[in-house]
Structure 1
């Protein structure tokens, strides 16, 4: 039972981190828009877990660098790992997988890839 609680705790942390990334991104976009630097509807950008939908979208990429299917196994083995799918509307723009490597101070980005083109 304690192991299940640990997994749940880290799942909540990951969810909160993605939510905070969205909030931070929205604030940055608002600041850039107010300064006339960029005009983008940030409400169409979202940060989610790498799931079946993200993997299906990734398979449509032409000449991707990594095999993201492996991330499913990694997520199961690494409860403190962090995965991220970056979307603009229905278009998958990028994927990221990171883990702390038993550090409380650092996170190592293991894979990071944007949609080719």
Structure 2
């Protein structure tokens, strides 16, 4: 995934870099219609020019940003997976497993919900 190559080369921790590469590859394989882009220094995926999901890295966790409306809709499932949240983010600690089934539902919801949407953000 060339778009994210430069972003990933700046990640010093090999395990974290590989985990992000795996996650990005999974998104691309699961949702090949999504376009990978870097905006505001963040890797994200968009569909027909509208935002679907973004990812970022912190010292103790990776952040998943599906937009507040989607986060609130899936909050119960997110909490069941054991993840912390903020108003805008899901925090997945580096040692926690990634709940790919949950991410798939979140991304699929956002794609369907925004299929006729023509702006980047809600």
TM-score, length basis structure 1: 0.34
Q: Which of the pair has more CA radius of gyration?
A: 1
In the superposition, the TM-score normalised over structure 2's length comes to: 0.33
